[in-house]
With several copies, the nearest count.
Chain A
Amino acid sequence: MSIETLFEIRFPAKAERLCLVRALVKRTAELVGCCSDLSDKLVIAVNEACMNVIQHAYRGDDLGEIVLQMLNNDGKLRFRIVDYANPIDLDSVKPRDLDDLRPGGLGTHFIDEIMDECDRGHLEEGIGNYLEMTKKIS
């Protein structure tokens, strides 16, 4: 089997739209056979990744656009999230030390915990960033 596109969705970088993305990812994960618990976890990771784009890449500029692709690569789910914000400082993307209790700094930790692999980078066009997350489901 080769790579199968499940969907690609584009939406404005607004917090209000995250619930749509969650509903879509949840339904799609179930469609490809993920159990309810795993689907919920994938939703969490994708939601946090999109939140980070809204908050840190676009810094709240809700004219920005987010593209989310969900692919099935022979039992490995792949989520590719693209933004068209200025290139981010890739080294700054890291969770807080969990023992250092303070509000914030959890999103990247959730993502790392849930996904098998994460790859971040700048788009070649000089503007924009991507995050690719994969998770083996069977």
Chain B
Amino acid sequence: MNINTLEGEGYTIIGFEGDVDLSCSPDARKSILDVLQADKNLLIDLAKVSYIDSSGVASLVEAYQTAKKQSLKFGLVGVSEAAMSVLKLARLDKVFPIHNSVEEYEQEDA
């Protein structure tokens, strides 16, 4: 898994690439919590995720809940088919705010 962090206007985007599984979900979790601890709105880009397991999904749930507690914005963008199929199994596709693209998020946010 690769992690790419990008600063946008008023938010940070973390992009995961490859397989987000038990071998690397602690790294994914840390990168997420770092952003939220810095009090920044968080977008997570799952477009290049080829696989995500329940430990990766757990980090997303934690991010969602932590952001809420801190009144920060949280959303997913460009969810890959593989990731979406897992979110659906977890019934989280209706819980998480999901945007097709960063542009869409910015428009909705404006």
Which residues of A approach B to under 8 Å, CB–CB?
14-16, 18-19, 22, 37, 40-41, 43-44, 47-48, 51, 54-55, 98, 101-104, 106-107, 109-110, 113-114
Contacts and interface: CB of A to CB of B under 8 A. Distances in A.
Contacts of A98: 90-91
**Prevailing SS type, chain A contact patch:** helix
A48 B58 CA distance: 13
Interface string B61-92: 11011000000000000000010011001110
Q: What bracket does the count of chain B residues touching chain A fall in?
A: 20 to 34
B59 interface: yes
B82 A40 contact: yes
A101 B54 contact: no
Contacts of A41: 85
B17 interface: no
Contacts of B82: 40
B90 A18 contact: no
B98 to A, nearest CB: 16
Interface stretch (B7-15, B19-27, B34-42, B102-110): B19-27
Q: Specify which of B54, B57, B59, B85 lies most central, judged by the most chain A CB atoms within 10 Å of its CB.
A: B54
B95 interface: yes
Contacts of B65: 101-103
A43 B59 CA distance: 20
Contacts of A104: 54, 58
Contacts of B54: 48, 51, 104, 106-107, 110
